[in-house]
């Protein structure tokens, strides 16, 4: 009798312990470069995390570390999540690439997903989104609405992803106004509200009346609002920060991808893949078109629809490089390989790539 | 008419309290931290466990603790000497960067020099780089009486921009997709590691530095000179001790150690140069030095405590979903309580009716030797 009570107690305790640890649930870890409250890049990834929790409920438990510096701390942050028993880890910044590969070697059973990088391994998949498709649309809007014919572009790092965005924006703008100009400021950070705000002020001071950004804070939107300029949101719908300023925003929607990949780990079908999703997969979305005339909004919607359906490619030839040489002839599209390694500007951009 | 708060030097200071002060500060931090946790709806006991004990319970996190503490201890021990001499080197962060740049010049400019001599050369250059950066405020102070707090601090920004320019310009990895990073160092240019591959030779240097400095301060005439200079500069003058000499010495030592910490970081956990190589170790080490009672041995403990604070903050994020800001709040509270405890142990607070006793002699004291500091600077300017 006594014995059985002890056994029952031990059983109950061990059950309680395993319940508390969530032994059955798959732990899914997220490493963020910014704070989840940035209302941009990291915020959207965190929306993805919440979607995983919502979709899979008790089958998963999510963990995250925010504001992880791309440097000596990255490796430890990823390792920590692996040590905590995460079976799937999303590392959501380009600069996490090498540490992700390093940690993945030491934890062969853990699956890793690295955003925007190009290094893969048996247990490391990569994924990114064709943000540039949205940039073509906003380029068109900018050219339609700008009175000065100059847009201000706040750029982060001169890596292919950012250069591609600038080119795509310009191609969109040139399709409306062949003489459109872009002024660029490189802030050399993904998230630095102070620097981004300064850049916005400088650009507006130089005659830009529309601001677009490849950085993650809402500061440029707010500055544009103060100075009476218009702006595009980045990564996330920033309309709250510029109700009279935001024209639209390119939205990164990671939710379907994160849910799908987590499901794949749960049912054992996960393997290392390279995903580059565009508007057609829903990974790139556009916020409502606001603060613009109806005809401009209609044009933007039409372009968006053409890109989504595959009717048009934003890098359709003929495209000339800055030096005048032909990059791709008429009737052809730039291939993904060239797009992924893009380190040249198209014709019409005055800026020089930082060398 | 009005009440004023007067800080009055206590006639005698309790030795026991002086030792207890950092412990008291840690205890107060934990106490107020618990209130903070409770206010956020967490069980304070569990939260404190995750924060302060958790990092010590697995071998992996102990190793990470050592990695994190290494630069803090190296820099903190050097700063302790400097502060002891009443010299305020606030620019260790810049000296760290300067050391990293000088040392990294070998793997970047001579990537094919695969020799066992490469690492010693890098370490030496790193120390020289840090020393050179620290020599500037020392020179300005000795020559012109310029305030070293300002000059050393401002040189941090110069170093940061120099690093920034190098990794975006001449030292950028040609194969790095334009990302602002240097090439990754090869095995000949990386420090030997232990255990899981994260703890590096720098940890050994930190322990050696602490022991050497402790002996230096307690057993040598130069060490005595440094202490006298801080506590009774005029007496030192009568004793024939050179003020300029100790300034050079203190800045030299702390600069060299910060430089060593810098090169150990880039040739260790980072493995390359990039725009940020330190999350502010040079500034955090100021807390380390004070937590360690401005004693090199104490800096060892201080470094470990702050490393726990940092790792605990990260663990709390994962296990309790607390914002990363908490770690920063903890660091801030710790420094605040240390300075408060120190001040209240040295001085007592008294309310005084300002107009009633105009003739009464009062002594105002700043936080750490503020009063002697002004006299000292005046002396240097003459």
DSSP A210: E
CA-closest candidate to residue A88, choices A346, A266, A291, A226: A266
> What is the structure's pLDDT at B364?
46
Chain A residues with CB inside 8 Å of B276's CB? 69-71
Q: Of B318, B319, B327, which to mutate for an interface test with A (greatest number of A Cβ within 10 Å)?
A: B318
> What is the structure's pLDDT at B356?
52
Question: A118: burial class by Cβ within 10 Å (0-12, 13-18, 19+)?
Answer: middle
- Closest-CA distance of chain A to residue B269, Å: 5
Is residue B50 classed as helix, strand or coil in its secondary structure?
helix
What CATH homologous superfamily does A24-129 map to?
Response regulator (3.40.50.2300)
Cα dihedral A226/A228/A229/A235 (nearest 10):
40
pLDDT in tens, A154-184: 999 888 889 999 999 999 999 999 999 999 9
Residue B28 to residue B23: CA distance in whole angstroms: 9
Q: Compute the average pLDDT of residues A214-228.
A: 94
Cα dihedral B323/B277/A201/A212 (nearest 10):
-70
Chain B residues with CB inside 8 Å of A79's CB? 60, 64
Indicate left, alpha or beta for A113 from its phi (over 0: left) and psi (-120 to 50: alpha). Answer: beta
Is A105 an interface residue toward B (CB < 8 Å)?
Answer: no
For chain A, count helices (H), then strands (E): 11, 14
Instruction: Please count the residues of chain A.
Output: 355
Looking up tokens 């963990």 gives A63
CA-closest candidate to residue A96, choices A133, A122, A53, A66: A66
Residue B200 to residue B67: CA distance in whole angstroms: 7
Is residue B350 classed as helix, strand or coil in its secondary structure?
strand
Indicate left, alpha or beta for B190 from its phi (over 0: left) and psi (-120 to 50: alpha). Answer: beta
Chain A residues with CB inside 8 Å of B278's CB? 72
Cross-chain CB nearest to B178 (options A63, A69, A158): A158
Closest residue in B to A69 (Cα–Cα): B279
* pLDDT-above-70 percentage for chain A: 93
Chain B residues with CB inside 8 Å of A158's CB? 178
**Per residue in A218-236, is it b (16+ CB within 10 Å) or e — as a string?**
bbbbbbbbebebbbbbbbb
Interface of B with A in 190-209 (CB under 8 A): 198
The average confidence (pLDDT) of chain A is 90
Residue A141 to residue B56: CA distance in whole angstroms: 56
CA-closest candidate to residue A275, choices A293, A263, A258, A297: A258
- Contact criterion met (CB below 8 Å) for A176 and A182: no
In Å, what is the CA distance from B186 to each residue of A140, A168, B111, B267? 47, 38, 8, 10
Is A266 an interface residue toward B (CB < 8 Å)?
Answer: no
Residues with Cβ within 8 Å of A4's Cβ and at least 6 positions away in sequence, in order, are none
> What is the structure's pLDDT at A256?
93
Cross-chain CB nearest to A73 (options B177, B275, B279): B279
pLDDT in tens, A300-353: 999 999 999 999 999 998 999 999 999 999 989 999 888 888 889 999 998 888
Residue A8 to residue A23: CA distance in whole angstroms: 20
Residue A192 to residue A211: CA distance in whole angstroms: 16
> What is the structure's pLDDT at A23?
53
Q: Compute the average pLDDT of residues A86-111.
A: 93
Chain A residues with CB inside 8 Å of B314's CB? 65, 76-77, 80
Record: contact A160-B178, CB cut-off 8 A: yes
- Closest-CA distance of chain B to residue A290, Å: 34
Neighbours of B12 (CB within 10 A): 6
ipTM over 0.85: no
Is B168 an interface residue toward A (CB < 8 Å)?
Answer: yes
Record: contact A76-B67, CB cut-off 8 A: yes
Interface of A with B in 50-79 (CB under 8 A): 63-67, 69-73, 75-77, 79
Can you give the pLDDT of all 382 residues of chain B as single tens digits? 577 878 888 777 777 777 788 888 888 988 998 998 888 888 889 988 988 888 898 888 899 999 999 999 999 999 999 999 999 999 999 999 999 999 999 999 999 999 999 999 999 999 999 999 999 999 999 999 999 999 999 999 999 999 999 998 899 888 877 778 899 899 899 999 888 778 999 999 999 999 999 999 999 999 999 998 888 888 888 888 888 999 999 999 999 999 999 999 999 988 899 888 998 999 999 999 998 889 999 999 999 988 988 888 888 888 887 777 777 787 788 878 888 888 888 788 888 775 555 444 444 444 444 334 333 333 333 3
- Contact criterion met (CB below 8 Å) for B268 and B184: no
Record: contact A77-B270, CB cut-off 8 A: no
Closest residue in A to B274 (Cα–Cα): A71
Record: contact A75-B269, CB cut-off 8 A: yes
Please tell me if the domain spanning A24-129 has the same topology as the one spanning A131-251+284-340: yes
Residue B185 to residue A69: CA distance in whole angstroms: 20
Cross-chain CB nearest to B318 (options A81, A98, A343): A81
DSSP A63: E
Neighbours of A307 (CB within 10 A): 22
Looking up tokens 């880039």 gives B266
Going along chain A, which residue ranges are E strands? 26-31, 60-65, 86-91, 111-115, 124-129, 150-155, 181-186, 210-213, 230-235, 246-252, 274-277, 284-286, 319-320, 326-328
Residues with Cβ within 8 Å of A198's Cβ and at least 6 positions away in sequence, in order, are none
Is A316 an interface residue toward B (CB < 8 Å)?
Answer: no
In Å, what is the CA distance from B133 to each residue of A127, B151, B153, B256? 43, 11, 11, 9
Is B274 an interface residue toward A (CB < 8 Å)?
Answer: yes
Q: Domain-by-domain residue ranges, chain A?
A: 24-129, 131-251+284-340
Is residue B216 classed as helix, strand or coil in its secondary structure?
helix
Cross-chain CB nearest to A65 (options B58, B67, B318): B318
Neighbours of B252 (CB within 10 A): 19
Is A81 an interface residue toward B (CB < 8 Å)?
Answer: yes
Q: Compute the average pLDDT of residues A78-99.
A: 93
Residues with Cβ within 8 Å of A308's Cβ and at least 6 positions away in sequence, in order, are A279, A280
> What are the structural domains of chain B?
3-381 (1.10.3470)
Beta pairing class for A246-252 and A230-235: parallel
> What is the structure's pLDDT at B355?
58
Chain A residues with CB inside 8 Å of B324's CB? 35, 65-67
Is B319 an interface residue toward A (CB < 8 Å)?
Answer: yes
Q: Is the dihedral of CA A166, A169, A175, A176 positive or negative?
A: negative
Q: Which residues lie across from B194 on neighbouring strands? A: B199
Q: Of A50, A76, A195, which to mutate for an interface test with B (greatest number of B Cβ within 10 Å)?
A: A76
Cα dihedral B15/B20/B21/B24 (nearest 10):
-160
In Å, what is the CA distance from B19 to each residue of B24, B231, B334, B347? 9, 18, 16, 16
Chain B residues with CB inside 8 Å of A73's CB? 279
Domain A131-251+284-340 is in which class? alpha beta
Is B67 an interface residue toward A (CB < 8 Å)?
Answer: yes
- Establish, for the pair of chains A and B, how many residue pairs have beta carbons separated by less than 8 Å: 74
Residue B174 to residue A222: CA distance in whole angstroms: 37
Cross-chain CB nearest to A67 (options B268, B315, B324): B324
Record: contact B314-A76, CB cut-off 8 A: yes
Most confident residue range from A68-72, A80-84, A88-92: A88-92
Closest residue in A to B177 (Cα–Cα): A159
Residue A171 to residue A233: CA distance in whole angstroms: 19
- Contact criterion met (CB below 8 Å) for B147 and B377: yes
Q: Which residues lie across from A86 on neighbouring strands? A: A27
> What are the tokens at B169?
């310009």
Closest residue in A to B310 (Cα–Cα): A73
- Closest-CA distance of chain A to residue B377, Å: 36
Residues with Cβ within 8 Å of A119's Cβ and at least 6 positions away in sequence, in order, are A97, A98, A100, A101, A126
Residue B96 to residue B282: CA distance in whole angstroms: 7
């Amino acid at each position: 009798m006594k014995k059985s009570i002890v056994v029952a107690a031990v059983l109950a305790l061990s059950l309680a312990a395993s319940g508390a640890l969530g032994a059955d649930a798959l732990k899914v870890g997220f490493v963020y470069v910014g704070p989840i409250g940035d209302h941009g890049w990291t915020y959207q990834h965190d929306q993805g995390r919440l979607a995983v929790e919502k979709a899979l409920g008790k089958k998963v438990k999510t963990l995250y570390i925010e504001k992880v510096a791309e440097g000596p701390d990255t490796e430890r942050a990823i390792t920590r999540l692996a040590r905590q028993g995460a079976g799937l880890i999303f590392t959501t910044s380009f600069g996490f690439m090498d540490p992700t590969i390093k940690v993945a070697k030491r934890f062969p059973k853990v699956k890793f997903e690295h955003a925007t990088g190009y290094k893969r391994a048996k247990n490391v998949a990569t994924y990114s989104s064709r943000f540039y498709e949205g940039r073509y649309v906003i380029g068109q809007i900018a050219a339609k609405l700008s009175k000065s014919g100059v847009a201000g572009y706040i750029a982060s790092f001169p890596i292919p992803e950012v250069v591609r965005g600038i080119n795509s924006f310009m191609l969109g703008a040139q399709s409306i106004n062949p003489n459109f100009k872009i002024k660029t400021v490189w802030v050399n950070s993904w998230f630095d509200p102070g620097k981004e705000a300064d850049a916005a002020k400088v650009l507006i001071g130089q005659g830009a009346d529309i601001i677009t950004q490849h950085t993650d804070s809402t500061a440029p939107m707010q500055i544009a609002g103060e100075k009476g300029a218009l702006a595009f949101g980045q990564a996330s719908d920033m309309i709250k920060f510029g109700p009279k300023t935001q024209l639209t925003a390119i939205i990164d929607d990671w939710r379907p991808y994160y849910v799908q990949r987590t499901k794949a780990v749960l049912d054992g079908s996960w393997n290392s893949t390279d995903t580059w999703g565009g508007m057609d997969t829903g990974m790139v979305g556009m916020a409502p078109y606001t603060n613009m005339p109806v005809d401009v909004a209609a044009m933007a919607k039409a372009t968006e629809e053409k890109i989504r359906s595959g009717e048009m490619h934003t890098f359709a030839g003929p495209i000339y490089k800055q030096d005048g040489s032909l990059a791709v002839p008429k009737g052809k599209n730039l291939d993904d390989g060239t797009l992924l390694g893009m380190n040249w500007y198209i014709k019409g951009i005055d800026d020089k790539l930082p060398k | 008419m009005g009440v004023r708060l007067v800080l009055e030097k206590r006639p005698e200071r309790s030795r026991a309290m002086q030792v207890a002060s950092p412990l008291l500060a840690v205890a107060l931090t934990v106490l107020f931290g618990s209130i903070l946790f409770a206010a956020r709806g967490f069980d304070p006991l569990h939260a404190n466990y995750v924060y302060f004990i958790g990092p010590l319970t697995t071998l992996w996190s102990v190793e990470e603790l050592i990695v994190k503490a290494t630069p803090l201890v190296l820099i903190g021990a050097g700063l302790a000497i400097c502060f002891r001499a009443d010299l305020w080197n606030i620019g260790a962060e810049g000296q760290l960067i300067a050391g990293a740049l000088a040392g990294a010049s070998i793997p970047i400019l001579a990537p094919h020099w695969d020799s066992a001599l490469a690492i010693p050369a890098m370490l030496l250059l790193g120390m020289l780089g840090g020393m050179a950066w620290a020599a500037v405020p020392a020179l300005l102070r000795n020559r012109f009486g310029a305030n070293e707090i300002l000059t050393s601090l401002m040189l941090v920004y110069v170093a940061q921009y120099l690093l920034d320019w190098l990794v975006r310009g001449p030292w950028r990895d040609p194969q790095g997709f334009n990302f602002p990073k240097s090439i990754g160092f090869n095995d000949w240019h990386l420090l030997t590691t232990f255990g899981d591959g994260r703890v590096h030779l720098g940890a050994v240097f930190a322990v050696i530095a602490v022991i050497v400095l402790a002996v230096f301060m307690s057993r040598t005439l130069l060490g005595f000179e440094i202490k006298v200079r801080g506590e009774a500069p005029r007496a030192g003058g009568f004793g024939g001790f050179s003020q300029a000499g100790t300034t050079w010495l203190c800045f030299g030592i702390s600069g060299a150690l910060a430089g060593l910490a810098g090169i150990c970081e880039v040739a260790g956990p980072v493995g390359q140069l990039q725009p940020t190589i330190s999350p502010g170790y040079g500034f955090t080490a100021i807390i380390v030095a004070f937590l360690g009672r401005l004693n090199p041995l104490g800096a060892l403990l201080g470094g470990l405590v702050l490393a726990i604070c940092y790792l605990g903050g990260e663990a709390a994020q994962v296990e309790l979903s607390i914002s990363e800001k908490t770690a920063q709040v903890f660091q801030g509270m710790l420094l605040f309580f240390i300075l408060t405890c120190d001040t209240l142990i040295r001085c007592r607070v008294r309310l005084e009716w300002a107009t009633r006793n105009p003739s009464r002699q009062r002594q105002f004291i700043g936080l750490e030797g503020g009063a002697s500091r002004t006299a000292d600077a005046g002396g240097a300017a003459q």
